[in-house]
């Protein structure tokens, strides 16, 4: 959607509004001219904070006549002639989709954090986009330490073919037994499987990591007992 453009006088009263702005406010230009931004938004708009550039933009909630609210981002610039401040111009952007995406991501992360296995979400470049609590426990990294990094920092075997650690080749194959590498450099046996889903046409790869340390130790113990029998 196009951005709204709004004009204010030095007291914060609206003097102009484009069509996109009318759509955001749910009001015509004639309905808003002369009104103060404080009458149109839940939050108080302190235009003085934009002068001189104390802040670049602010998040606001527009109040529509029908009772609905619209979250917007407002960026304000001054219009001056010499040293005289004539008016302010504001750029309004509807951030509903961004807020919904953040909320959806937070809910999804909560689901991931309840999983018993380590879960690593990756993009098409095999860069990590999400990292659940169990993955953090297994590898010893906090999420912020791995986000944006290639998955090969955790699963060196994902780059065993020298292809840069791309995970696409794991998709549709059986889970592989390989090694994980912890933050302290220690390696440990894991089962690693990858699946692909499309979210709004974008590929998201989900890596499931199961720690095989206990299983391997148990099998080794059995072998030792057999050799001593």
Burial of 154 (0-12, 13-18, 19+ CB in 10 A): buried
Question: Residue 118: in which H helix or E strand, if any?
Answer: strand 118-122
204: β partners: 197
Q: Give the DSSP per-residue string, 159-227.
A: GTTSSSS--GGGTTSPPEEEEEE-TTS-EEEEEEEEEEEEETTEEEEEEEEEE-HHHHHHHHHHHHHHH
The set of long-range contacts for 188-193, using a CB threshold of 8 Å and a minimum separation of 24, is 188/138, 188/212, 188/213, 189/213, 189/215, 189/216, 190/138, 190/155, 192/155, 192/157, 192/158
Which residue in this structure is represented by tokens 């001219």?
33
Pairing between β-strand 176-181 and β-strand 128-131 as defined by DSSP bridges = unpaired
Pairing between β-strand 187-199 and β-strand 14-17 as defined by DSSP bridges = unpaired
Given this model, what pLDDT does residue 56 score?
66
184: β partners: none
- Could you give the 3-state DSSP secondary structure of residue 100? helix
What residues in the chain have per-residue pLDDT under 50? 54, 163
Given this model, what pLDDT does residue 17 score?
94
Ramachandran bin of 86, using left for φ above 0, alpha for ψ from -120 to 50, beta for the remaining angles: alpha
Query: Helical H runs in 18-93?
Result: 19-25, 29-32, 37-40
């Amino acid at each position: 959607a196009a951005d709204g453009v709004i004009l204010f006088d030095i007291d914060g009263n609206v003097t102009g509004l484009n069509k996109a702005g009318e759509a955001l406010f749910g009001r015509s230009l004639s309905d808003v001219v002369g009104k103060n931004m404080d009458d149109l938004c839940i939050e108080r708009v302190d235009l003085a904070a934009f002068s001189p550039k104390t802040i670049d933009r602010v998040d606001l909630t527009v109040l529509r006549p029908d009772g609905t609210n619209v979250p917007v981002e407002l960026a304000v610039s001054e219009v001056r002639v010499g040293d005289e401040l004539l008016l302010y111009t504001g750029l309004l952007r509807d951030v509903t989709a961004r807020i919904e995406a953040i909320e959806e991501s937070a809910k999804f992360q909560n689901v991931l954090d309840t999983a018993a296995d380590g879960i690593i979400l990756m993009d098409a470049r095999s860069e990590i986009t999400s990292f659940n609590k169990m993955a953090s426990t297994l590898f010893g990294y906090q999420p912020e330490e791995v986000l944006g990094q290639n998955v090969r920092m955790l699963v060196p075997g994902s780059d065993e073919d020298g292809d840069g650690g791309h995970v696409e080749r794991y998709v549709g194959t059986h889970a592989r037994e390989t090694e994980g590498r912890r933050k302290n450099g220690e390696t440990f046996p894991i089962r690693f499987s990858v699946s692909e889903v499309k979210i709004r046409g974008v590929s998201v790869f989900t890596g499931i990591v199961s720690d095989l340390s206990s299983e391997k130790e148990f099998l080794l113990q059995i072998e030792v007992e057999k050799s001593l029998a």
